[in-house]
Amino acid sequence: MSPEAGSLSRSRQAGRRGRQRRGSGLIETLIALEVMTLAMIGILQLFSLSILVNGVAAARTVMMFKAQQVVENMRIAMATGAVARPGGFAVPPQQIGVADGINKCTSGGTVFSGGGTVAMTPNAGTYELPYSTLPAYTSAVSGASLPNFWGPQGAGVVDVVNGPFRVTITVEGTASPWTVTVTCYPEITSATNSTFLGGAAALTGKRIDYVAQLR
């Protein structure tokens, strides 16, 4: 074989090896892209799940806060309506504690009886806080029409009508200490539940039961 023929043969072999290497590199790149795509799909699924979990956790935090608000406002109302202070004292009208002072629940019940200068006593029963409306009540002391105790101008537990949560109060016992259970649960049909990522479906069946004693 002449030197020219040998050189041409080696050149052709080198060309074939180069084409083979280029083909292998393309396949490796495609495989790497596929692996990265599968990994990204898993990461995106994990990210969406974390958003859902955080949304439900946010809802549970707000529900717990609402339940604590109810109990603490009941304690305040009992303290301000239990006895007459020497020289008199000014009590916001929503905290007078008269028979209709903590009233206007959707069930129409009265959470407390007594009040003013008389000791307040929680009434046994279950009462649902207002939801679609915040009806005013008439003070048994002054006869004036006062804002609903649970609304924004009172305790502020029901801050908006048709909100994302419903709240019920269950009082047990006829004497001190009274056991109070506040239950807070999402209103699934409420449009405001879109505030919590994950929507109403993620909140179905979720509730908070907050148990306390009042003396």
| pLDDT tens track for 120-137 | 778 899 999 989 888 776
The pLDDT, as a whole number, for residue 168 is 94
Residue 118 in tokens: 């008389």
Of 80 and 106, the one with more pLDDT? 106
Question: Which secondary-structure segment (H or E) carries 165?
Answer: strand 165-172
| Whole-angstrom distance, CA of residue 149 vs CA of residue 199 | 30
The backbone torsions φ and ψ at residue 125, rounded to the nearest 5 degrees and listed phi first, read 145, 180
Q: Are 35 and 43 in contact (CB under 8 A)?
A: no
For 61, other C-beta atoms within 10 Å of its C-beta total 11
| Whole-angstrom distance, CA of residue 207 vs CA of residue 185 | 4
List all residues 6 or more positions away from 91 whose beta carbon is below 8 Å from its beta carbon. Answer: 80, 81
If 0-12 CB within 10 Å is exposed, 13-18 middle and 19+ buried, where does residue 97 land?
Answer: buried
For 109, other C-beta atoms within 10 Å of its C-beta total 15
pTM listed for this prediction: 0.69
Of 94 and 7, the one with more pLDDT? 7
The pLDDT, as a whole number, for residue 32 is 83
The pLDDT, as a whole number, for residue 169 is 94
**pLDDT (mean) for 88-98:** 41
Q: Please report, rounded to a whole number, the percentage of residues in the chain having pLDDT higher than 90.
A: 17
